[in-house]
Amino acid sequence: MESLINNLLEFFFILTGFLLMYTAGSVFMDKTHPTRLGTTLFWLFLGVIFAIGNFIPYYLSGIMLLVIGVLTLFKQVKLGHVRPIEDDEAEEASKRIGNWIFVPVVVLAAVAVGIAQFTPLGGQVGIGIGAAVSLMTGVLITRATPKTVMDDSDRMIQQVGTTGILPQLLAALGVIFTAAGVGEVIAGGISTVLPEGNRFLGVVAYCLGMVIFTMIMGNAFAAFTVITAGIGIPFVIAQGGDPVIAGALAMTVGFCGTLLTPMAANFNALPAALLEMKNESGVIKEQTPLALILIVVHIALMYFWAF
């Protein structure tokens, strides 16, 4: 089963690689593109890493990533000409197709969730199969030509743009932080300045430690182990705090950090790109007031409920 899952996933990664390389090709053919070669190279390298990253030495992918970084640093990756959606065309099509247009979207969700729930294949394979089945459903319903499908794939990928790979890149950064032992340094630092024997300060330090460390790592799970070992156990639980309640609250207060940080790109920058928002940090801005209120709520809950 394990190998079946891995083979299926590898297949989906190769497909994704082809979509990215198609975008590279379409940018290359666009003679009017302002940064034609740089943008072509960006999508081509990304496509190659996706398609054959597991079959070539890892350092080659590392080199390609550094080139990608140089390209984006010098603003060589830009949105080129993509086939726009014509409003009257869409209006006309929607009159013809009616509510059937919702079917592919529902199929994606249903297949993805169904496979995750009822088969041992897991959620990720579910998304891959869901994407394929829903695309086929969509083509049947809309009668879109292959050219239109590829045009729209290219349009969506270019619109999501460089932000789309940010979550994956940050995940890779997390791996390097872990390899370097960054977490231990932070937890050690906090525990040396905190006075022992004060429950309230302990609760505040545990909660804020989770928030701040989650904001740095972009991931509350990564923060939880480090901060619980470094702060939660000695300053909250060793003073009589209930490990069940303190642990549950520490995790969700960490999620408040996720709401506040550009490091959690898959939750904040990615939807901004998917929704084509003007302001890349618009989602974080919207979440900030409630996230701050929730941090206070968590501190109060942990102080009064865990002891």
The residues in 46-65 that bind another protein, with binding defined as CB under 8 A, are: 49-50, 53-54, 57-65
Taking contact as CB under 8 A, which single stretch among the options 24-32, 33-41, 110-118, 197-205 is the one that binds another protein? 110-118
**Region 181-240 residues binding another protein, contact defined as CB under 8 A:** 181-182, 185-186, 188-189, 216, 220-221, 224-225, 228-229, 233, 237
- Nearest distance from C-beta of residue 24 to another protein, angstroms: 14
Report whether 113 contacts 128 (CB < 8 A): no
Query: Looking at beta carbons only, is 195 or 289 nearer to another protein?
Result: 289
Which residue of 162, 207, 209, 210 would you call a contact of another protein, by CB under 8 A? 162
Amino acid at 111: V
Q: Are 264 and 258 in contact (CB under 8 A)?
A: yes
Query: Shortest Cβ distance from residue 171 to another protein (Å)?
Result: 4
- Return the amino acid letter for 214: T
Minimum Å gap between C-beta 33 and another protein is 19
| 127 near another protein, rule: CB under 8 A | yes
Does residue number 307 form part of the binding site for another protein (CB under 8 A)? no
In 74-102, which ranges are continuous DSSP H helix?
Answer: 87-97
The answer to whether residue 177 forms part of the interface with another protein (CB under 8 A) is: yes
Q: Which residues 6+ apart lie within 8 Å of 254 measured at CB?
A: 210, 211, 213, 214, 220, 223, 224, 227
Q: Is 45 in the site for another protein (CB under 8 A)?
A: no
Residue type, 48: V
Using CA atoms, how far residue 233 sits from 150, 196, 227, in Å, is 54, 12, 9
How many whole angstroms separate alpha carbon 195 and alpha carbon 250?
A: 20
The footprint of another protein on residues 70-109 (CB under 8 A) is 70, 72-73, 75, 85, 89-95, 97-99, 101-102, 104-105, 108-109
Q: Which is nearer to another protein, 131 or 201 (CB)?
A: 131
| Distance (Å) of CA 32 to CA 28, 77, 82, 85, 113 | 10, 14, 12, 20, 42
Dihedral (CA of 68, 70, 72, 78) sign: negative
Residue 156 near another protein by CB under 8 A: yes
End-to-end CA distance of the chain: 45
String of contacts with another protein for each residue 8-27, x by CB under 8 A: -x--xx-xx--xx-------
- Distance of alpha carbon 228 from alpha carbon 205, whole angstroms: 11
Cβ proximity to another protein: between 97 and 201 the closer is 97
Nearer to another protein, 31 or 174 (CB): 174
Task: Please tell me the distance from the alpha carbon of residue 196 to that of residue 190, in angstroms, as a whole number.
Answer: 12
Which one of the spans 28-36, 174-182, 194-202, 203-211 is the region binding another protein (CB under 8 A)?
174-182
Single residue of 1, 117, 193, 195 touching another protein by CB under 8 A: 117
